[in-house]
Chain A
Amino acid sequence: MISDIQVMIAGYAGDGVLFTGNVLGKILKRQGWEVVTYRDFPSNIRGEAMNYTIRASLNKIYSRGDYIDVLMAFNCDAILRHIKSVGENGVILCEGSVTESVRLSPKKGRTFHKFPMRELAKKNFRSEIFKNTILLGGLCYILDLDMKIIREVLSEVFLKRKGKEIVEKNIQALRLGCDEAEKIIKEEERHSLEERPDKDRLFLSGDEAIALGALAAGCRFFAAYPICPATEIWQWLLKHIHKFNGLVVQTEDEIAAINMALGAAYSGVRAMTSTSGPGASLMMEGFSLAGMAEIPIVVAHVQRVGPSTGLPTRPEQSDLNQWVFGAHGDFPRIVLSPGTIEECFYFMADAFNLAEKYQCPVILLTEQNYGQNFYTVEKFDLSRVSIDRGMLLSQDELLKIEDYKRYALTENGISPRVVPSMANGIHMVEGNEHDEKGYRDEDEEIRIKMMNKRMTKLNIAAKDVIPPKLWGKEESDIGIIGFGSTICPIREAMDQLEEKGISTKYLQVRTLWPFSAAEVEEFMSSCNTVFVVENNYSGQLSRLIQGQGVECSRVHKINKYSGHTFRPVEIAESMLGVLEQ
C-alpha cells in the first residue's frame, strides 16, 4: 500500500486548472488525507501555461513532493514541460495523443493514455466546460476516490451558484470520466490511499488563515489595494467582517491604505492593511509615521518575486530588508515571520497584541507559497487567542488623570493611550517631533528624550516577541537556519537526510525584528556546519545574522531565486555536496 501521491493538472490559463485543482484538493482532504497544494501560474488571465500540483499523504507532509505520480494534461505541450518531474510508474493522461519522442523518454514504467476530456465534454454535454469534471472523474477512478465525497463537494461548489441542474450534469460528467478511465487504466496503474475519517480539520491557504486570524484577533478595520498575492486576505474578510461590525475599504492606492488604517487605529479600532513588495514600497512613509506617532497598526505582507513588478504570482523571500531596514528615520518596528499555516493564524493575535502593547507597527511577513496554496491543518483552537490592548485607558481611568499626556515619558517608554471622543484626553498625534502632550517641539533635549523613549519600547518588546523554534535532532551538529515557508521543503529535506543516516536540526526564526540574536548565536555555536536556506538571491537572513555580530565563518548559503520554492531534494543535495567535501 502506498502512503503518498502527487497529482499534477496542467494546461493553459483559462482551462480551469485552478478551479479543478481547488475542488480536487477539497475532495482529497475529505478523504481524510494530509493535503498540500502548489499552484504554479503566471500573472496573466488567459493563454499561458500553468499547472496545479496536489500532494496527498497518510503522513504529515509539508511541501510539494519531488515527483509526480499522475499527470493530467489538457495539451501535449504540458507533457513535454513536466515529463522530467513524472516519477517511475507515473501515469500520464492527455487530451491528445502523445508523440513517440515523449514515449521514449528514459524513466521506466511510465504509461501514457489518450484521455479526450474536451472531446467527451463536447460530445456528451455540448459544452467544453465539463472537461474539468470529466478530468475529476478520471482521477476518481485512478485514485479510487469515494464517489459520495465527490458528489458532496460538487454540490457545495455548484448548488448555490449554479443550481441543481448543473450539479446533476456535473455528476453525470464525473461518472463519464470515471467509466472512460476504467476502460483504459489497468489495475496496476491505479494509485490509491486508504480512506480515513476527516474530523476537525481545515483546508485553507495562508492568506485565508491570516484573514481568519485577523478576525479572531479583533481586527475590525481593513484598508487595502488589490495586489497579488495578498488580495485573498481582504477578499475573504469582506464576506465576514460585517458580522463583527467591521469594515473593509478598497483604497485608491497603498499610500491611502496604510494612512486610512492609521486613522482607524488612532480612533481605537484594531486596524490593518495587506500588501506585497511594490505596495509595501508605497507604504514606507506611513510605516515611518506609525513609528513616530506610536500608532498600533498591523501590515500583512505576502512576498512575491521582485524587484519591481517581478513575478507577481510566484514566491520569494526578498522583502525582509524592506521591513527590517526600510523607511526613513529610526523607529521601533516588529517583524514576525510565520512558518506554518497554523502560525499564519495564531500570529495575527500576537501581531495585534504586540502592536497595542508597544504602540508600534507590526509586520506579518509571509510568502506567496503560503498565501495562495492550500494546506490541511487541525481546526484552530480559539481558546489560544487572547486580546491584550496594552496601555489603552478606559474613560474612567482617564478621568482620574489630572493632566493627561499622550506621549508621557515613562520608564519602559510606553505611554497610556486614549482615543478621540474621550473626555479629558484631548491631545495631538504628531508626525513631527513632539513633546509629551504631542505638540510639535524642536528642543534638543526633548528630541533626545523622545527618541530614547520610542526606542526603549523595542528593547522591552525584544523579550516579549516570538522566539525561534527548534526542529529535528538537538544533538546534531549540522544546523539549518531559515524563516517563513522554506520550513516546508527544509523539513522534507531533513527527513530525506535522516533516511541516509544524517541527522540535522533546524532553527526557524519567527521574529525577524527585533532579531533573536542570542538564540541564533547559541544555535550556531552548537553546530559544526550551518546552512542558511533562503528563497532569495542575496541571503537577506544570513546578512541579518551577520549584521548582529554573530560569527558566520561556518555558514553555507543555499539560495533559490527562480520564482519557485525549493524542491526538498534540491536542499538535501546542496547540503550533501558540502557535507561530503
Chain B
Amino acid sequence: MKENSYHLHDPTWCRGCGIYGIFAALKKAAASLQIPPERMVIVTGIGCHGRLNNYFNAYGFHGLHGRVLPVAAGVKLANSSLAVLAVSGDGDAYSIGVGHFIHANRRNVNMICIVVDNRVYGLTQGQTSPTSQKGYVSVSSPFGSKETPLDGPRLAIVSGGTFVARGFSGIPEHLTALIIEGMTHNGFSLIEVLSPCVTHNKINTYKWFKEHIVNLDDDTNFSAKNKKKALEVLSDQSKIPIGLLYHEERPSFDDLSLPSDTPIALTKLDVDEKKLDAIMKDFM
C-alpha cells in the first residue's frame, strides 16, 4: 500500500487549513504501517474534521457531535482485528463530548484518537471553543472569553490516559511519527493536533503556534515515562509542548475484557441450544 491507496478525493477544506497536514500525516502513517484500507475504520465527529471520511479511503462512520469515542470503542470491541481511528475536534472532544473523553482515557480501549484543535468552532462560523484563550473575541464572546481554556493532554493524563501526545499540523513529519507510535501503542492513544483555522481564528495562526511551541524531543531532561514531569511541562502557560508527553504500558480494556482472541464479529452466530439449555437450569 502506498500513500495514494488512502487518497479517495482531493479535500475541499479552506486553502491553508491545518487539517491538510493531518490528512497527509494520516496517509503516510497508514502506508508506513501497511494497513489495508478495508481494515481501517475512521470515526469522525461533527466539525470541519468530520469531512475527513469523504477524502480518506477507509471504512467511515460520521455520527453525532461529541459521540466519536463511544462509537469507535464499540467498533473496536466488536472487531478487535480492525485499526480504529477516532478523529474529533476541540468542540467535539473537549466540550460536548468531554465526558466520553475522560472515560475513554481511563477505559483504555486499543484505538487512536486524534483531536484536531483549532481553538475555534469553524463549521458553525467562528464561535469560542473550550480551547480558545481567555479574552478571545468571537461572535459568541464579543467582549472576550471569560473562561480558562481546557488543556486536553493534561486532562487525558489525569484521567488515566496511557499514551498522550501533541503534534502540530505545521510539522507533518513529526506528526506522522507520533501517529505511527500511537497506532502501535496497545491502548488508548491521544494525539492532540494544533491545527490553525485560517478562516476564523486570526490569533492562533501558523506563525503564532511556531512562536509558542517547544519540541520535547529537544529537551534531553524530559522523559515521557514520568507523569509528574509531563504535568509539569504542561503547567507552563507560556509554552506549548509538542511531542510524546506521557506513555505508560498497561493492559488495554480489550486485553482485560474480551473473552477470546477471536473478534466477536467473526464468531459464528447461531442458537446454541445446548449452552442455553444449561443456563436455563439456573431458573428451575
Interface residues of A (CB under 8 A from B): 198, 201-204, 208, 212, 215-216, 218, 220-221, 223, 240-247, 249, 251-253, 255-257, 259-271, 285-286, 289, 293, 379-380, 382-383, 385-387, 389, 419-432, 438-440
Contacts and interface: CB of A to CB of B under 8 A. Distances in A.
Contact of B265 (A267, A380, A383): A267
B270 A427 contact: no
A218 B267 CA distance: 10
B205 interface: no
Contacts of B172: none
A499 B224 CA distance: 80
A260 B265 CA distance: 14
Contacts of A266: 61, 71, 74-75
B223 interface: no
B148 to A, nearest CB: 24
Interface string B85-117: 000000000000001101100000000000000
Interface of B: 36-39, 41, 43, 51, 53-54, 57-64, 67, 69-79, 81-82, 99-100, 102-103, 257-260, 262, 264-265, 267, 269-273, 275-277, 279-280, 283-284
B265 A216 contact: no
A271 B60 contact: no
A465 to B, nearest CB: 21
5 contacts: A243-B275, A263-B72, A263-B77, A420-B39, A430-B62
Contacts of B103: 251-252, 256
Contacts of A202: 280, 283-284
Contacts of A223: 70, 74
B264 A431 contact: no
A247 B275 contact: no
A438 B60 contact: yes
A263 B54 contact: no
Nearest to A377: B283
B63 A431 contact: yes
B264 A263 contact: no
Nearest to B67: A259
Contacts of B279: 212, 215, 240, 243
A430 B62 CA distance: 5
A259 B63 contact: yes
A259 B70 contact: yes
Contact of A264 (B37, B75, B269, B270): B75
A234 to B, nearest CB: 14
Contacts of A419: 79, 265
Contacts of B72: 263
Given A245-B264, A420-B75, A382 B271 contact: yes
Given A218-B270, A259-B67, 6 more contacts: A247-B77, A252-B102, A255-B100, A271-B74, A271-B78, A426-B38
Contacts of A203: 283-284
A268 B78 contact: yes
B276 A382 contact: yes
A37 to B, nearest CB: 14
Nearest to A240: B279
Given A246-B264, A256-B103, A421 B269 contact: no
A202 B37 CA distance: 49
Closest CB pairs A-B (n = 8) = A263-B74, A267-B78, A264-B78, A260-B74, A259-B70, A256-B70, A202-B283, A242-B259
A208 B282 CA distance: 11
B83 to A, nearest CB: 10
A267 B75 contact: yes
A575 to B, nearest CB: 35
A245 B259 contact: yes
Give the secondary structure class of A's interface: mixed
B41 A420 contact: yes
Nearest to A425: B38
A269 B70 contact: no
Contacts of A220: 78, 264, 267, 269
A537 to B, nearest CB: 32
A387 B75 contact: no
Give the secondary structure class of B's interface: helix
Contact of A221 (B77, B81, B273, B276): B77
Contacts of B75: 263-264, 266-267, 420
Given A252-B103, A256-B103, A267-B79, A261 B38 contact: no
Contacts of A293: 61, 63
B105 to A, nearest CB: 11
Contacts of B100: 252, 255-256
Contacts of A379: 280, 284
B260 A289 contact: no
Nearest to B43: A263
A266 B72 CA distance: 10
A382 B70 contact: no
Nearest to A422: B38
B132 to A, nearest CB: 25
Contact of A247 (B53, B54, B67, B264): B264
Contacts of B70: 223, 251, 255-257, 259-260, 263
Contacts of B82: 267, 420-421
Contact of A269 (B67, B78, B257): B78
Given A247-B258, A252-B99, A255-B70, A221 B264 contact: yes
Contact of B257 (A249, A265, A430): A249
B283 A420 contact: no
A232 B278 CA distance: 20
B284 to A, nearest CB: 6
Contact of B78 (A263, A385, A422, A426): A263
Nearest to A374: B283
A220 B57 CA distance: 29
A348 to B, nearest CB: 12
B91 to A, nearest CB: 16
Contacts of B36: 423
Contact of A216 (B54, B61, B260, B271): B271
Contacts of A421: 38-39, 79, 81-82, 265
B78 A208 contact: no
Contacts of A438: 60
Contacts of A212: 276, 279-280, 283
Nearest to A199: B284
Q: Which of B36, B262, B283 has the most CB of A within 10 A?
A: B283
A293 to B, nearest CB: 7
A540 B77 CA distance: 39
Q: Which of A240, A269, A427, A439 has the most CB of B within 10 A?
A: A269
A202 B283 CA distance: 5
A289 to B, nearest CB: 5
Nearest to B57: A426
Given A251-B70, A259-B70, A426 B37 contact: yes
Contacts of B277: 382
Given A247-B259, A289-B63, A262 B265 contact: no
A387 B74 contact: no
Contacts of A201: 284
A439 B74 contact: no
A289 B68 CA distance: 13
Contact of B71 (A263, A270, A380, A385): A263
B263 to A, nearest CB: 8
B74 A261 contact: yes
Contacts of B73: 249, 260, 263
Contacts of B41: 267, 420
Contacts of A422: 38
A257 B73 CA distance: 11
Nearest to A198: B284
Nearest to B86: A263
B62 A423 contact: no
Nearest to A382: B273
Nearest to A200: B284
